[in-house]
Amino acid sequence: MKRDERWEGVYSFEDSPFIMEILTELRDEKTGPIAFRKGLVKLGRYMAYEITKTMDVEKVPIKTPLEETEGIIVKDRRNVVIITVLRAAIPLMEGLIKVLDHARVGIVSASRGKAPKFEIEMKYVKVPQIRSEDTVIIADPMIATGSTLIKVLEEVKKYGKAKRYVIIGVLAAPEGISRIKEAHPDVEMFVAAIDRELNEKGYILPGLGDAGDRAFGAP
CB 131 within 8 A of CB 168: no
The answer to whether 197 contacts ligand URA (rule: CB under 6 A) is no
Which of 139, 144, 149, 215 binds ligand URA (CB under 6 A)? It is 144
The least distance separating ligand URA from the CB of residue 60, rounded to whole angstroms, comes to: 42
Q: Which is nearer to ligand URA, 136 or 143 (CB)?
A: 143
CA distances from 215 to 53, 60, 128 (A): 29, 41, 26
Judge contact between 144 and 178, C-beta under 8 A: no
The annotation status of 145 as a binding-site residue, yes or no, is yes
204 lies in the site for ligand URA, by CB under 6 A: yes
Note whether 176 binds ligand URA by CB under 6 A: no
Q: Name the nearest CA neighbour of 105 among 96, 113, 117.
A: 96
From 82, 142, 170, 192, residue interacting with ligand URA (rule: CB under 6 A): 142
Cis-peptide into 61, omega within 30 deg: no
Task: State in angstroms the smallest separation of the CB of 145 from ligand URA.
Answer: 8
With the CA atoms of 195, 44, 107 and 131 taken in that order, what torsion angle do they form, in degrees rounded to the nearest 10? -100
Q: Which residues bind ligand URA (CB under 6 A)?
A: 88, 142, 144, 202-204, 207, 210-212
